[in-house]
Chain A
């Protein structure tokens, strides 16, 4: 059965490379996906107006449920918050009624049918790292990758059911499946610093510096993320901070780009030219 693919507001519009690479990789692996008219997952308004967050998320869940599809997203924030909203609606019947009264106007109902998956959980649980490993044609041997987890998918783990929140291994498993080496770095589970940017830009850059320094100290060649917000931080805001001399540059790429490279997909299909600091990418002459 196909997945309803949930790109999120940032993928495709601000992270074009991530969207292209994800699309290319799931096509290559035979994962079917259809696009629905999804709206914002609700995460950006969660702090300000909780009810709007739940309703915004519920509309997406109802849309997918209406089609009888499960949601597949490449963004950890969308994933975690859709999961959270789904869980919240299961627990709070009063909120369920309010939400469904609004959704009825569109002929939709939230009934909790739609499952929610992240790209990494699908690759790990349905495709499987061994299967991925068999598909790899250009193993990225010798490339050292710092896997960056992303908060919203990892915690609260009781709700997101992503992996162990204190010692997760899913991302490292998938990185190793491409033939690359995953490094153990100190700040791998910490926030990327993007959500605090508007409130306190200095703090956000401080967090970026702490993270990139930690990855560098562990000997990583790249930071690899699988979340729109984390990629915004590493791919969009990092070059600006580097230009101001606040941070030393740390190359980065999205997981689907890494996987796409190892599967032997052409560079153009992976949107690598949109990536900052891709000059160090392995096999830049290949394909």
Chain B
């Protein structure tokens, strides 16, 4: 990926922070293995995953760095990294891994752990946006893009930023004013158990 274009966000030249031995979590790799169904401890650090990753340039550690840190038990570093949030789950890394590690599943598991533990995502606005998507599905059974965008923009305080974009999208039939909804969205409400209730 084009290094110059991808704005590196967390790739500051921060000095490598010292590892505090009492912070290490030797069970992290097993916890991740259980959640993801794949063994990150098989990793050879061959960097095939990071070479293939389309968003590696903007990541702080990259997939191979996450594997390494999970195996070392650097729990805080891993959960606070932006790598786990920039991963879109395209599975390029998983398809190429010579050790057959499903790296994308590891990222899924780490995001899950981070959310359960209340770690603030390193990418701002991730949570606000996802919450609106979830609310939209609960309300209509489908995602209603216009409402998601409006609510998200209100929440993130950027609501005037892309007004022109929205108007153009409407003109091209890319945004609908009325939501497409299923007949009985209330039947879906029960699907979203007690773990996450939107707001």
A residues whose Cβ falls under 8 Å from a Cβ of B? 9-10, 12-16, 37-40, 44-52, 55-56, 59, 98, 102, 105-106, 151-152, 154-157, 165-166, 189-191, 193, 195-196, 198-200, 202-203, 205-207, 209-210, 236, 239-240, 274, 276
Contact = CB atoms under 8 A, between A and B. Distances in A.
Interface in B147-167: 152, 165
Of B90, B131, B134, B144, the most chain A CB neighbours within 10 A belong to: B90
Given A39-B182, A166-B96, A196-B86, A50 B112 contact: yes
A105 B189 CA distance: 12
B137 A39 contact: yes
Contacts of B185: 39
Contact of B88 (A59, A195, A202): A195
A154 B187 CA distance: 32
Contact of A49 (B85, B94, B134): B134
Say whether chain B's binding surface is mostly helix, strand, loop, or mixed: loop
Given A206-B6, A236-B172, A151 B92 contact: yes
A203 B2 CA distance: 10
Interface residues of B, number: 63
Nearest to A12: B180
Interface in B92-138: 92, 94-96, 102, 104, 108, 111-112, 115, 123, 125-127, 129-131, 133-134, 137
Given A9-B180, A52-B196, A210 B2 contact: yes
B134 to A, nearest CB: 5
Contacts of B130: 44-45, 47-48
Contact of A200 (B86, B90, B180): B86
Contacts of A9: 142-145, 180
A44 B95 CA distance: 22
Interface of B: 1-2, 5-7, 9, 54-55, 57-58, 85-86, 88-92, 94-96, 102, 104, 108, 111-112, 115, 123, 125-127, 129-131, 133-134, 137, 141-145, 152, 165, 168-169, 172-176, 180, 182-185, 187-188, 190-193, 195-196
A276 B172 contact: yes
Contacts, number: 174
A207 B55 contact: yes
Nearest to A44: B133
A59 B134 contact: no
B178 to A, nearest CB: 9
Ranked 10 nearest A-B pairs via Cβ = A155-B91, A151-B90, A206-B5, A195-B88, A39-B141, A48-B130, A165-B95, A191-B90, A55-B191, A9-B143
B133 A199 contact: no
Contacts of A203: 6-7, 55, 58, 86
A156 B37 CA distance: 14
Contacts of A166: 95-96
24 contacts: A10-B143, A14-B145, A14-B173, A40-B141, A46-B89, A48-B111, A48-B115, A52-B134, A102-B190, A106-B187, A151-B91, A152-B91, A154-B95, A155-B90, A155-B95, A165-B91, A196-B55, A196-B88, A198-B152, A202-B7, A203-B55, A206-B57, A209-B5, A210-B54
A156 B102 contact: yes
B94 A50 contact: no
Contact of A51 (B172, B183, B193): B193
B143 A47 contact: no
Contacts of A274: 172-173
Nearest to B123: A199
A128 B129 CA distance: 41
